[in-house]
Amino acid sequence: MQKEHCKDEDALLFRKFAKQRTIKNGNRGGAQGHYAVTPSGELLAASSSANYKVLVEMMKQGLEKWETLPREKRLLPKSPDPKAANNWRKKENLYPDDGLVLRVIARDQKRERWPDSNLDYAWFRKDEARTLFADKPKKGAKHDVPRELVERLARFHLLDNVHALNYTFFPKEAIEKARLTSTVVQINGELVSLRFEGETRASLVSPKKIGYEPKLLGRATFNLKEQKFVSFELLAVGLRWGLGNCNQRHNPTPALMGIVFTLAGDSQAERIPPAFLSRYGW
């Protein structure tokens, strides 16, 4: 939204105060960082440090300046329009209320430096979630999860973002293996207990050599009456190799990385769209 051509109201307001920021030391790049601002877009204070002491000082400075500003400088001349956000929050509107929303955590086997884990979300529409196990479940029934869904996991979620957001996702042709099998281990009333087992391999050689080859294991419980998962765990562990794009990986040597998918909550913070949602084809 900070692209210069963007005329969305929130982007215009952001650019107004971002331009006022001057940081000599510790800038994390671009406009990243913390800002204390007024609703009218006046910059009160700013920092770009991960040091909490710097942030606390910045907040104190911001509050002091806030106290000196008259109301007409602090606030917009008229109330901002809540409906304006409909123009740019299109991804959020795709949230699958009746589907499956998973929190995705990635971490290296060996913790080298902070931050050493990252978080993303994986979304499944209701009909997609239901294809994770047999249409007519009975104990012992095995079911191959549609390759399309497993490929989606391998391309956009089984990624090395341990240290930072990785802009390198895997193209379809990079997926060499994408298999996930579910087995019904028990049916207790409306509850179907499942096990997952599988593997994926994604390998990209050009423009850069990067890949990940994990084994997959997991378990879940589906409520047939409510038509939703009430528990879910899927664990991927395997070698990752190569570097990424902006992901702060400095050592390309193959090393073990784990990624865990678990049920997300439904708070605002848990409804953030997956990083590569726009590639889902929804």
Residue 152: what are its φ and ψ, rounded to 5°? -60, -40
Whether 200 contacts 227, CB under 8 Å = no
Site string for other proteins, 77-106 (x = CB under 8 A): --xx-x-xx---x--x------------xx
Q: Tell me: does residue 3 bind other proteins (CB under 8 A).
A: yes
> Can you tell me the distance from the alpha carbon of 92 to that of 1, in angstroms, rounded to the nearest whole number?
15
> Can you tell me the distance from the alpha carbon of 103 to that of 194, in angstroms, rounded to the nearest whole number?
19
Select the residue interacting with other proteins from 167, 224, 230, 266 (CB under 8 A). 167
> Can you tell me the distance from the alpha carbon of 84 to that of 90, in angstroms, rounded to the nearest whole number?
12
Min CB(235)–other proteins separation in Å: 5
Contacting other proteins within 175-204 (CB under 8 A): none
Min CB(73)–other proteins separation in Å: 12
Q: Tell me: does residue 272 bind other proteins (CB under 8 A).
A: yes
Min CB(38)–other proteins separation in Å: 6
Residues in the chain: 282
Q: Tell me: does residue 55 bind other proteins (CB under 8 A).
A: yes
> Can you tell me the distance from the alpha carbon of 261 to that of 282, in angstroms, rounded to the nearest whole number?
21
User: Among residues 185, 101, 98, 198, which one has the least CA distance to residue 145?
Assistant: 198
Contacting other proteins within 101-130 (CB under 8 A): 105-107, 109-111, 113-115, 117-121
Q: Give Cα 243 distance to the centre of its chain.
A: 19
Q: Give Cα 41 distance to the centre of its chain.
A: 28
Select the residue interacting with other proteins from 101, 182, 184, 214 (CB under 8 A). 214
Q: Tell me: does residue 255 bind other proteins (CB under 8 A).
A: no
Select the residue interacting with other proteins from 25, 29, 189, 281 (CB under 8 A). 29
Selected range binding other proteins among 8-16, 134-142, 169-177, 186-194, rule: CB under 8 A: 8-16
The DSSP code for 4 is T
Selected range binding other proteins among 28-36, 129-137, 179-187, 201-209, rule: CB under 8 A: 28-36
